[in-house]
């Protein structure tokens, strides 16, 4: 799993876990993407 996390000029970083909210608003999580490495 590859993760990308942003940090602003004040040193604030994106959270790893987001508090749940019914509407799904304010999605500011660390983004995760599955990566498959193929040797060859």
Domain ranges of the chain: 1-40
Q: What is the DSSP string of 8-19?
A: -TTS-B--SSPP
Rounded Cα–Cα distance for residues 28 and 22 (Å)? 15
Claim: this prediction has a pTM higher than 0.85? no
Closest listed residue to residue 13, CA positions, set 24, 25, 29, 2: 29
Closest listed residue to residue 18, CA positions, set 27, 6, 31, 7: 27
What's the pLDDT at 11? 95
The predicted-structure confidence for 1-40, as pLDDT tens digits, reads as follows: 898 888 999 999 988 887 777 777 777 788 889 999 999 8
What's the pLDDT at 7? 92
């Amino acid at each position: 799993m590859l993760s990308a996390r942003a940090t602003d000029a004040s040193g604030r970083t994106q959270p790893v876990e987001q508090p749940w909210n019914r509407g799904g608003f304010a999605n500011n999580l660390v983004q995760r993407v599955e990566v498959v490495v193929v040797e060859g």
